[in-house]
Structure 1
Amino acid sequence: MHYRKGFILLLMALSWAVSGSNAFADAAMDRVLLKLEPEERAHQACNIRGLDAVRKGKHLKGVDRVKASSQSRATFKNNVVTANGAAVRANHRWYRLKYKCAVTDDQMKATSFEFQLGAEIPEDEWENFGLWK
């Protein structure tokens, strides 16, 4: 499935970017994003921006994943991703997250990211939401 291949490549590009942002990592991430359908590209651009925003928010330490559609499906309309049932992982624990993220017309970059961090999600609920350790 094209989505799965793109997602795996995106995760690789994200790991390069997290370990030290540079032109190579940015170019690799752009190549991967271009292979995705516009809606999925928007979701991934927002996940990338979300990682940065939540880290800078200093509410959580060790943030390494954002999942837009864990408790409910995120929506994409007019270049805005709205995720009321998202989750963020920090130090191997998951937390509820709501966000609204605007992207460029080509869905390659997030232009804004507003979020609200919620309570920790109990580990016995992770499987129901497609979360992992």
Structure 2
Amino acid sequence: MCLAFGGLILIAVATTAEARSRDAEMKMLDPSERIEQRCNTKAMGEVGRDHKGMKPDELVAYAYSDTHLKGPRIKAPGAAIRSGRTWYHLSYDCLTEHDGMDVKTFSYKLGSAIPDSEWSHHYLVAP
């Protein structure tokens, strides 16, 4: 029992250290890039949880239109998200706090699949 407990502590320490390392890397980014990265990560997680069978592995926030950043909020009306071998239209609205380190509110709309013929024109890479 003591060994298992000790193992859990070691795992918790490693996880905490990894999180601190990721946060330190994020803080080195320009604030606008940090906000976009945090919100892209949130989008991928939400889509993966909400849509059975989807496992997002790539997202391009500016694929079909520019993102709109105002303070700690970013709107990505023309984003695209990839799951498996398919890209999908996506739009999201994301509000962050703590200099872009935490997502406060997030909403999104997942659209239809994007034909491969459009990929190269919109910065979408094949899997």
How high is the TM-score relative to the length of structure 2?
0.82
What is the percent sequence identity of the aligned residues? 29
Paired residue for 2:103, among 88, 98, 110?
Answer: 110
Aligned equivalents of 2:52 and 2:78: distance in 1? Answer: 19
Uncovered stretches (5+) of structure 2, i.e. residues with no partner: 1-14
User: Is 1:83 the equivalent of 2:79?
Assistant: no
Superposition map of 1:15-34 within 5 A:
22-34=15-27
Give the direction of change, closer, same or farther, for the CA distance of 1:87–1:59 in structure 2 (3 Å limit): farther
* Structure index of larger Rg: 2
The corresponding residue for 2:118 is 125
Give the aligned length.
Answer: 113
Structure 1 runs (4+) deviating above 3 angstroms are: none
Residue 35 of structure 2 aligns with which residue? 42
Output the aligned Cα RMSD: 1.6
- 2:86 is the counterpart of 1:93: yes
Report the CA distance between 1:59 and its aligned residue. 5.1
Q: Secondary structure at the match of 1:40?
A: helix
TM-score of the superposition, structure 1-length normalised? 0.79
> What is the alpha-carbon distance in structure 2 between the residues aligned to residue 59 and residue 74 of structure 1?
27
CA shift, 1:55, in A, is 0.8
Which ranges in structure 1 are unaligned for 5 or more consecutive residues?
A: 1-21
Q: Which amino acid in the other structure matches residue 48 of structure 1?
A: T
